[in-house]
Each structure stands twice: as structure tokens, then as C-alpha cells.
Amino acid sequence: MRSPRYRPGSTNRITVTSVREDACTLTTDTPENLLKFWQEIIATQADHEPDKESVVVVMMNTRLRPYAWHRVSLGTVSESHCHPREILRPVLAAGAYGFALMHNHPSGDPSPSRADELVTRRMVEASALMQIRLVDHVVVGESAPGRSPYYSFREAGLIP
């Protein structure tokens, strides 16, 4: 069955959540700061489900400060589906200069899957075409001995 198309005035609207003014002082140009944004903003929401994979896009101004975010997809314990158009739609609607893509791994291991790599490659292409800066794609996990609590595709060299 096909999902209904977006129509202005319909119930299929994008909900973009504004960020508190005091949170806007946090520059989200590093994966550590994006992780902090996830922990302080996303993970504290009443509807956050840490046992499910959640894909979030964070909209940024020209100083790379977040001013809004949108949950693109809420999945299962092991996957969440999202398409570049669903990621870019709230970014375009919010008039963002740049954005970061983030999602959690409920297992706690932030190592990216092949699907994560594929989505990142597609987002690099799509954001370049739309001339919107993709700052990073960060996979959020948990700290463990010898392991970072996140994986950054920018640090890994997959995002120029």
C-alpha cells in the first residue's frame, strides 16, 4: 500500500521542534557536541524511546548552531528506515544552512551498519545537489572500555 503524499493543510505535516534559546549557544560542528545535543535535547523528550532506533535531523544556522530538530523515523530495536527526501524535507522547510543526521543504536554499539554507510553516501550526494551543508552523520551508542560512545562519519572520512 502506498503512503499518502504530503499536501499543504493535510494531517501529514512535518513537525519541527524548536531548540531552547540557551541550547543555541552550543555549536554542533563536532561529534562530541552533537552527542551532547542528543543527550541533553533528544534523549530527554517524553516520547524518546531508547530501546528503538530513532533517526533525527538537526537543523543549523550559518554558525552551525542548532535551532530546530525533527525525528525522521522511529524504528525497531535493530533498524530504522529513512529516505534522503524524508531527511531533507524538514531541512528545506526550516530553511536551514546545514544539518546533521543522527541516530542511536539501542544495542549500545555505535559501529555503523552497511545500511548506515549507504544512507550516508546518499545524503552526501543529495545535500551537495541541494547545496545544503551536511555537517555529520553521528551514530549514538554507549561508552565501553576501548570504545567511543559515538561513531562520526565525518571523522571516518565519509563526509567531506
Return the pLDDT at 77.
75
| pLDDT tens digits for range 12-23 | 556 666 665 455
* CATH of 20-152 among 2.120.10.30, 3.40.140.10, 3.40.50.2300, 3.30.930.10: 3.40.140.10
* DSSP at 111: P
81: left (phi over 0), alpha (psi -120 to 50) or beta: beta
Are the CB atoms for 59 and 70 separated by under 8 Å? yes
Mean pLDDT of 30-39: 96
For the chain, which residues make up each domain, given as ranges? Answer: 20-152
* pTM, to two decimals: 0.85
Give the position of cell 533528544.
Answer: 42
